[in-house]
Amino acid sequence: MTDKPKLNPMLKLALDLGPLVIFIIVLSRFNIFAATATFMVAVIVALAISYALTRHVAVMPVVTAIVVLVFGSLTLFLHNETFIKLKPTIIYCLFGATLLGGYIANKPLLAIVFDSAFHLSEEGWRKLTLRWALFFFVLAVGNEIARHMLDTVAWGWSKLVVFTPATFVFALLQYPLLMKYSSEKPNPDAEAERKEV
């Protein structure tokens, strides 16, 4: 079985962060509603480019896009910015709950969520899954604090200058765990789950 084509890391980063950067630029120059509409289009375009180049998309961007489209539509149709501001909280809680459920059920869901290319022992997957689940819940709480304490533009910028760097730092801090529990053989349960997606 051939491996799935992989995006160039810089292109993947651009596709991941591009819609957010566009959202913030439009938000800063116009308003939350113009930014939301632009964000919805940018997310779809990023997914389409990713699929066109690799013929598959990871679960995480798809779920994120669905939530963006649902809450973005509510924001525009009801002319209420609360919905788009709730979007990160909903996404973080969804991923946190999914990973925590997988942790409790002894299912390696983290490999599916992140479309992971590395292999860990069962203990490694469990520890990494619990860490990411808890981190997502921390991000959800952080977004709730930000959306209540900051104005709309400052809240938008917090996504780029606080939450995104925090996620990268947290991911880097997991490197020792990845090295400690690295396995030459893929987890069969994880591989089976990924093939079904």
Q: Tell me the per-residue pLDDT of 110-129, one tens digit each, with 9 for 90 and over.
A: 766 655 556 788 888 889 99
1: pLDDT strictly greater than 60: no
Long-range pairs for 63-68: beta carbons < 8 A, 24 or more residues apart: 63/91, 63/94, 63/95, 64/91, 67/91, 67/94, 68/39, 68/40, 68/43
For 171-184, the pLDDT digits (tens) are 999 999 988 888 76
Q: How far is CA 173 from CA 131, 159, 161, 166, 179, in A?
A: 11, 20, 18, 11, 11
Collect all residues with Cβ–Cβ distance below 8 Å to 146 and sequence separation of at least 6.
155, 158, 162
Please tell me the distance from the alpha carbon of residue 97 to that of residue 174, in angstroms, as a whole number.
20
pTM confidence score: 0.83
pLDDT in tens, 159-173: 999 999 999 999 999
Q: How many CB atoms lie within 10 A of CB 129?
A: 25
pLDDT value at residue 109: 79
- How far apart CA 13 and CA 27 sit, in angstroms, is 21
Residues 64-86 have a mean pLDDT of: 94
Place of tokens 């997606």: 197
Under the banding of pLDDT at 50, 70 and 90, the label for residue 88 is very high
Alpha-carbon gap, residue 111 to 194, rounded angstroms: 8
* Separation CA 175–CA 137 (nearest Å): 21
Q: Are 83 and 70 contacting, i.e. CB atoms less than 8 angstroms apart?
A: no
**What ranges do the domains of the chain cover?**
9-196
- Tens of pLDDT, residue by residue over 35-54, are 999 999 999 999 999 888 88
Please state, rounded to an integer, the average pLDDT across all residues of the chain. Answer: 86
pLDDT at 74 over 70: yes
